[in-house]
Amino acid sequence: MKGNRGFKFINLIIIFVCISAFLATIPTTISLFANGAGVFTSYMHKDQFAIEDEFYKSRAFDSNLMSYLTSATSGSLQGTDKDTSDEDKKNIEETRKWAREELKTISNLNYFIINKDTNEVYTNSDSKTAKEFQGKYKGECDVKISANNHNVSYSKTFGNKEYKNLNVNDELGSVMQLRNGDIYMSIPENFERVPGIYDRIYETKSDFERDIIHVQIILATLGASLVLGIISTFLYKRSKTELFDKDSFWLKFSKFIPLELYIVGLICAVVFIVQGMDYYYDMLSSFTFSFLGIGFICTVLYIFNKQINSYDNKLDFFKTAFIYRVLNFSKKAFVRIFKLTKSMPLSKRIVGLAIVCIGVNLFLMIFAISDYNPFIAIIAAILTIGGFAYYVLKKLWYLSYIMDGTERIKNGDIHHKLKLIGEDNFTTLADNINNIRDGLDKAIDNQLKSERMKSELITNVSHDLKTPLTSIINYVELIKKEEDISPEYLKDYVNVLDSKSKRLKILIEDLFEASKASSGNIELNMEKIDLTQLLRQSIGEMEEKLSEAKLNLKINVPEEKTYIRADGRRLYRVLENLLGNISKYSLPNTRVYIDIIEEDGKVKLTMKNISSYELNFDPDEIMERFKRADDSRNTEGSGLGLAIARDLVNLQGGTFSIDIDGDLFKSIVEFDEIK
């Protein structure tokens, strides 16, 4: 197993080397083109992008070296005319001086330059004419560059073959300093470097020959890496041995290295590659820089891949970052501090925070003053005071939010729930209020459930009592029809039984009606109703009872019809109950005031009477079921009339209230007026 793992690791190293070598040719090629690409064939020959092993056919000679030599030789005889300014003459003189100094450093070149405008000649030979120079000097490569009104031609002879281009303005026109003139140059055969002198021709040719060797090495390396990389990849994939499992020492060790260190390494590798592309490095050096940089990048990416795959949650890979570790440590420290201060009262916390804020401000101000930079102290003071103010205002806002929430709950919105923000005293307060709200909500639900159960019980009992009670009433009626009843006092018993059974029937019906009204289990037929007419009809129906009670009615209603939206049958029951109470509980020989008033879009019906009993109870209490004005219960009332009236009015969208002033009892029914 260890042998297999070692073999697979060797193949992995070979794959990295091959990938690095293969990819390193890309920046090397870019550097090759960016730095002049002297190893390619020049513009004077065909196949300009082919690798050229002949120096005198290469770009190194025709572009690089000839541009320099043309500039130096033509500059040595750069002329002036009558239109040349003094400033230009001075510049031309400096150019001539520079060019002649440059030519002195070139030992492997014979030259003869003539300015046809001035007939001036400059040469390092003893020839008097160009023809004499050409006949005397036959070298490894002979060059002639001519300028005719700035039209530049170029010819060269080497290997007993002449190459000519009559228009090289794009290539040499910018460096040609003569308007009309000829430049003859001859490079000796088998020239050598002169010790102690930098010879441009020798160095250019040496660099070219070195670059050709480097190209051959790189191409051979590229081919070998391609073949060897394919073989190693095949062998690596074929091996089923896990090179680095989750429990591997090296994989565990790599997790301790911060992610930022890898990133910095990648950036340095990229800089290393780019640095190697600079012109002052030779091709092999550029390749080496790229090879090492890409190799490092491949290694880091491989480690990244292994680390990411070792995590069940891929995002855990980023937890190795130093920034994450610092933030995580700070978070844990903050949580510890927060837990320590959590039990501290809010007032003490704010005071402590204010002290810290003042201390930080003082420290920063002393530091800023000692550094003679008060601007920093101002900014620091603004930030710390602003942070403290933000904290206090945030707490005050939350307190205001809690107060608004409790106000809503107090006003009946028991389902409103406060949001829990943070973990401090205010949060505890909000949570306690939510718990109280939940308790209140449960209590109301239980109460509603209890009321519903009571209503259902009353409804069921009332229904069960109706059937036998109806039978009793029917049988009493049959007995009353018998003429031969003896003894005589049995007739009185039958009359009492008849009266009490009918009263019980009324009580059960009231109880049934009250149950339905309180639970809202009533179908309403809402329509447009004339309240004045309905009131007169109700008074007419109750006239006999009101007369027996010796009451004097004082009715004050509008002459025009007064319309409201209500259920006529249910509203009639309300009026019947109110008038019934008046007939039962009013003091005899007193007046009863009944008014209908229209105001502010409302229709208000009020009934006022003088009670025959002492009104020593609360108005809300009298509207509860089974509550009666006469505690001795000498009257026939069931104690349900006002409760039924209240519930029926509320169901129809109106309001019902009672007002007591001494012995004056006033009931008020109010609806929205409609036209």
pLDDT of the residue at 243? 61
Q: What is the mean pLDDT of the chain?
A: 78
* pLDDT value at residue 11: 77
What's the whole-number mean pLDDT along residues 143-171?
90
pLDDT tens per residue, range 283-298 = 667 777 777 887 888 8
How high is the pLDDT of residue 369?
63
**Which segments of 281-421 does DSSP mark as H helices, in order?**
283-310, 322-342, 346-370, 374-410
**Domain edges within the chain:** 4-27+215-310, 36-190, 344-402, 425-521, 524-672
- CATH number of the domain located at residue range(s) 425-521 in this protein: 1.10.287.130
Query: What is the pLDDT, as a whole number, of residue 443?
Result: 77
Q: For residue 632, what pLDDT band results from cuts at 50, 70 and 90? A: very low
CB 194 within 8 A of CB 203: no
CB under 8 Å, gap of 24 or more: what pairs does 160-164 form? Answer: 163/44, 163/45
pLDDT tens figures, 647-675: 888 888 899 998 988 889 999 999 999 87
Pairing of strands 563-567, 590-599: unpaired
Lowest-pLDDT range, 209-213, 638-642, 663-667?
638-642
Arithmetic mean of pLDDT, 505-532: 72
Question: Which residue bears the tokens 């019934």?
Answer: 580
Residue-level pLDDT at 244: 62
CA angle 605, 610, 612 (to 5 degrees): 135
Q: How far is 540 from 553, CA to CA, in rounded Å?
A: 12
Q: Both tokens of residue 304? A: 């990244």
Q: How far is CA 124 from each of CA 76, 127, 585, 600, 624, rounded to the nearest angstrom?
A: 12, 9, 149, 124, 135
CA distance linking residue 579 with residue 569, whole number of Å:
15
Tell me the two tokens of residue 555: 């009715």
Kindly tell me if the per-residue pLDDT of 309 is higher than 70. no
Instruction: Tell which wins on pLDDT, 634 or 49.
Output: 49
**What's residue 45's pLDDT?**
82
Helix (H, G, I), strand (E, B) or coil at 534: helix
Task: Identify the pLDDT of residue 474.
Answer: 77
Position 643 scores a pLDDT of 79
User: From CA 364, how far away is CA 358, in angstroms rounded?
Assistant: 10
Mean pLDDT on 524-549: 88
Whether 520 has a pLDDT exceeding 70, the answer reads: no
Q: Which long-range CB contacts under 8 A does 651-656 form with residues at least 24 apart?
A: 651/517, 651/520, 651/522, 651/524, 651/570, 652/524, 652/526, 652/565, 652/566, 652/567, 652/570, 652/571, 653/565, 653/566, 654/564, 654/566, 656/574, 656/623
**Three-class SS state of 1:** coil
Q: How confident is residue 633, by pLDDT bands cut at 50, 70 and 90? A: very low
How many CB atoms sit inside 10 A of residue 473's CB?
16
- Residue 638 has a pLDDT of 54
The confidence score (pLDDT) of residue 1 equals: 43
> Pairing mode, if any, of strands 151-158 and 141-148?
antiparallel
Would you state the pLDDT for residue 650? 86
pTM confidence score: 0.44
Task: Give the integer Cα–Cα distance in Å for 27 and 288.
Answer: 11
Q: What is the pLDDT of residues 599-613, one digit of tens each?
A: 888 999 999 999 988
Tens digit of pLDDT for each residue in 370-423?
Answer: 655 666 666 766 777 777 777 777 777 877 888 888 888 777 777 778 888 776
The per-residue pLDDT for 590 is: 93
Residue 391 CA to residue 71 CA, distance in Å, equals: 75
Helix ranges restricted to H, 76-156? 86-104, 130-136
pLDDT tier at 314, thresholds 50, 70, 90: low
**Predicted pLDDT of residue 626:** 46
DSSP H or E run through 124? none
Looking at domain 524-672, which of 3.20.20.120, 3.10.290.10, 3.40.640.10, 3.30.565.10 is its CATH number?
3.30.565.10
The pLDDT-based confidence of 253 (bands split at 50, 70, 90) is: low
Closest CA to 92 of 28, 516, 100, 131: 100
CB atoms within 10 A of CB 566: 27
Query: What is the Cα–Cα distance from 532 to 611, expressed in whole angstroms?
Result: 25
pLDDT of 8 over the 50 cut: yes
pLDDT over 90 at 446, yes or no = no
Angstrom distance (rounded) from CA 515 to CA 509: 10
Tell me what percent of the residues of the chain surpass a pLDDT of 90.
11
